[in-house]
């Protein structure tokens, strides 16, 4: 087999090329299987410029083709599905593979969160599957990630920021993307993280916020939260190089929030007209047009 030199080597192209060596009862798994089944955020990179190998599950001992890695872990035929001609493991098997073999616990949590983000798995489904596994490689990391998983994180960086919030700052676990309303029921905004007890919100500003329009929107949102008496802290894309600085700002904001004594002028309990979409089950239950209206902003693979 060969590929013309002019073909762009996209993540999808790499998956197709790796899958070409598979035989019956073998499949693509891990990040590549999740991406092929429509999951967003699984780019097949190491977070920088390097490419991750396409993980394959094979029944026979074989050398891995260039750009792929081969495992001979047991694979039941019932855990394989074919999507657009490519055999891939079912989403729950694929994400648990990612969780088990992730380099860090944080990366395992990101994989779980992002598979939930695309509604390919729910925490309940992953929990049930992990419970069937014995002492396989990485199983404890998968179990630990399950405890930290979230079905309503909207990006890997939001998940990572949640880790800073709980692990480094030692604050209580926040809610993810919980909408904030005035007491009269007007929607004010949906912060990335919120502690409804403290009245503390956090927002992650990635590279898409570095523009006049993005900055203006952030300033307006800051003012809206401040008018309601919420304390807000922002994490910038540059903070990953100086994570202690953000942790300090976060703890200072938490201190200011805890010192507030003014009556609360906001709520997170939605009014009757609001359609909650914070769980995989709720999102899956949305009819087609309603799903497009409410979730059309979401990133897709």
Question: Does the domain spanning 156-267 belong to CATH 3.40.960?
Answer: yes
* C-alpha span between 261 and 165 (Å, rounded): 23
Tens of pLDDT along 91-119?
999 999 999 999 999 999 999 999 999 99
Cα distance from N-terminal residue to C-terminal residue, the chain: 27
Would you tell me how many other CB atoms lie within 10 Å of the CB of residue 181? Answer: 18
Confidence (pLDDT) at 299: 85
- The band of 46, judged by pLDDT with boundaries at 50, 70 and 90, is confident
Q: Give the residue range(s) of CATH 3.40.960 domains in the chain.
A: 156-267
Bigger pLDDT: 62 or 98? 98
pLDDT tens for 162-186 read: 999 999 999 999 999 999 999 999 9
Three-class secondary structure of residue 260 per DSSP? coil
Q: Count other C-beta atoms under 10 Å from residue 131's C-beta.
A: 9
Across the range 218-233, mean pLDDT stands at 87
Grade residue 210 by pLDDT with cuts at 50, 70 and 90: low
């Amino acid at each position: 087999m060969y590929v013309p030199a002019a073909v762009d080597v996209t993540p999808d192209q790499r998956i197709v090329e790796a899958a070409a060596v598979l035989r019956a009862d073998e499949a693509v798994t891990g990040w590549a299987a999740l991406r092929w089944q429509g999951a967003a955020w699984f780019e097949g990179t190491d977070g920088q410029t390097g490419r991750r190998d396409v993980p394959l599950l094979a029944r026979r001992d074989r050398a891995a083709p260039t750009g792929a890695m081969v495992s001979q872990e047991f694979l039941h035929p019932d855990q394989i599905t074919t999507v657009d001609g490519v055999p891939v493991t079912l989403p729950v098997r694929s994400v648990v593979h990612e969780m088990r073999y992730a380099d860090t616990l944080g990366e395992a949590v990101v994989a779980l969160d992002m598979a939930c983000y695309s509604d390919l798995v729910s925490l309940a489904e992953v929990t049930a599957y992990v419970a069937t596994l014995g002492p396989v490689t990485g199983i404890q990391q998968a179990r630990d990630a399950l405890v930290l998983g979230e079905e309503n994180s909207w990006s890997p960086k939001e998940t990572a920021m949640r880790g800073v919030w709980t692990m480094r700052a030692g604050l209580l676990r926040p809610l993810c993307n919980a909408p904030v309303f005035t007491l009269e029921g007007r929607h004010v905004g949906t912060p990335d993280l919120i502690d409804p007890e403290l009245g503390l919100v956090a927002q992650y500003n990635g590279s898409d916020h570095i523009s006049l329009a993005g900055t203006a929107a952030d300033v307006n949102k800051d003012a809206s939260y401040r008018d309601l008496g919420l304390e807000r802290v922002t994490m910038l894309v540059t903070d990953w190089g100086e994570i202690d600085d953000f942790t300090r700002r976060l703890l200072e904001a938490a201190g200011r929030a805890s010192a507030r004594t003014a009556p609360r002028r906001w709520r997170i309990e939605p009014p009757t007209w609001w359609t909650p979409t914070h769980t995989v089950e709720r999102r899956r239950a949305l009819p087609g047009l309603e799903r497009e209206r409410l979730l059309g902003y979401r990133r897709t693979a």
